[in-house]
Each structure stands twice: as structure tokens, then as C-alpha cells.
Amino acid sequence: MGIGLFIALIGLVKAGFVHENPAPGGGPATRSAPSVQRLLSPQGAPGTVSTTQGRPEAPAPLPGLGPRTRAQIPGSSRQVVVVTGRARDANRSEVVLYSRTPAGWRAGTPWPARNAQKGWTEDHSLGDLRSPIGVFTLTDAGGLLPDPGTRLPYYQDEGFGISGPGLAGESLEGAFDHVIAIDYNRVPGTSPLDLTRPLGEDKGGGIWLHVDHEGPTQGCVSLSEKHMKELLRALDPARNPVIVMGDAQSLQK
């Protein structure tokens, strides 16, 4: 024990910071002082990482995201869906739902996904067959089938019915059984089927998370039906969920 700490302990005794503990059976009381560990760790919370000012450190940033991308995520967001494309021109990607906790960001299980046929772009336009890169809010859901239990506003509508072949010749039937609207060039708080395009028709729209149809999309992100339902049930509008999407290299900027 250093001389400084010894002097501090003596000072506590003189100042009355010791306390008496009744001995079992009514014997003489014992006197004790705060432990050395408590003196050295005044915050006293097991597992708490503190700065020199005694304030908790900020949680580690979301993995795989660079400073420019992280800066676009609202500070109020406590759920972040990260869609990471394999490459700029690839149509395969991975989806992870991150949830903010007092201890930091907790990652969900990674899910395989598909994106647009030609990959990704920072300047999406109608018919370019690329998914838009960016950070977008997630406010509304819907589908041909009934609500599977989401807390998001859910719009069940026959307008989500679709048939015919996809870009790889696969059947599109059932692709829109469940969807989550990505708030790119749309008005939040409306059905995913709403056709309002604030940025203009030439900037495209109707960018959704939806059920995978075993082929690339025209601009959306697709997940298996099982994972779509899991995501719908997990998202909570009270936690201001957003989606961060793009190829891995772009997201690291």
C-alpha cells in the first residue's frame, strides 16, 4: 500500500467514515473502513468502463461502417439494419440487425440476402437495376398476407399480389407477402404502395425489404420468408429503426 493511500485511510478513520458492525451475540462492535478497491474505484459498478471524468464511455461503433456512414445514423436510432453487399456490382449481400443496449450494440444473427441485379449505386435512378446506397428510416410495412406480429404500421392489401417471372426467370409469386418500405424517395407514414415520389419519378422508388424469390431484385433487398417475419417482429418504431445499405467498400467510408 502506498504512503498516500495509507494517509487517506487514516484520514477517513478520523473523519468518522468508519462504521461499527455489531458482533454476533452482542459482543464488542468491530470497526471497518471502506475497502481499498472502493477507494481506487469510486464509481463502484462492476463491469462499468468509465472515463477519467467518471462518465461511461461511448459504446464501440457499429462494425464495418466508416465515419461518413456512421454520421448519417440518427442519434435517436436504437435499431440499425445493416445490409452489406459483397461488392459494388454484386447482387448478394448479408443483413444484420443491431440493437443498442446500455452495454453497446448487440448484433443479431447474420442473414443471407439479395439486392439489385447490377449491385449498388449512390445515385439511384429508375430502371438502373442497382440498389441505393445510404441510410434510410424504416417506418411502414405491409403485404399480401396478414400482419405476422410487427409493431410497425402494417398495410394488408391485394395490391401486393404479384406474378410472372423475375430477372433470372424465377417466379415472383409470394415476393410481396410481407414487405418493409425503405424510406428512399417516399413519404413515411403511408402504405408501401403509395406512389408519391418527393425526389421525382426519375429517381425511382418502391425500394423495399421483401421475401426472397430466388433471384436478384430490381432495387430492393430480399430475405427468406422466415427472416422477413423475424425482422418484422423485431422492429420497434419506438426505437427509431433505420437501414444502412450498400456494398462493403462504400459503407466503410
User: 166-197, pLDDT tens digit by residue?
Assistant: 999 999 999 999 999 999 999 999 999 999 99
For residue 162, name the pLDDT band (cuts at 50, 70, 90). Answer: very high
Contact yes or no for 95/182 (Cβ under 8 A): no
Name all domains of the chain by residue range, CATH numbers in brackets.
1-57 (no CATH), 67-251 (2.40.440.10)
- Determine the straight-line distance between the first and last CA of the chain, rounded to whole angstroms: 49
User: What mean pLDDT is predicted for residues 222-236?
Assistant: 98
Nearest to 83, CA basis, from 204, 205, 250, 229: 250
Look up the pTM and report it.
0.77
User: What mean pLDDT is predicted for residues 117-143?
Assistant: 98
User: What mean pLDDT is predicted for residues 244-253?
Assistant: 98
Q: Which residues lie closer than 8 Å to 44 by C-beta, 6 or more apart?
A: 38
Catalytic residue among 124, 210, 213, 227: 210
pLDDT cut 70: percent of the chain above it: 77
Query: Is residue 210 annotated as part of the catalytic site, yes or no?
Result: yes
Say what the pLDDT of residue 61 is. Answer: 86
Say what the pLDDT of residue 60 is. Answer: 79
Q: Which residues lie closer than 8 Å to 28 by C-beta, 6 or more apart?
A: none
What one-character DSSP code corresponds to residue 24?
A: G
Say what the pLDDT of residue 59 is. Answer: 66
Catalytic residue among 124, 178, 213, 220: 220
pLDDT in tens, 19-61: 444 444 444 443 433 333 332 233 333 333 333 344 545 567 8
Average pLDDT, the chain: 84
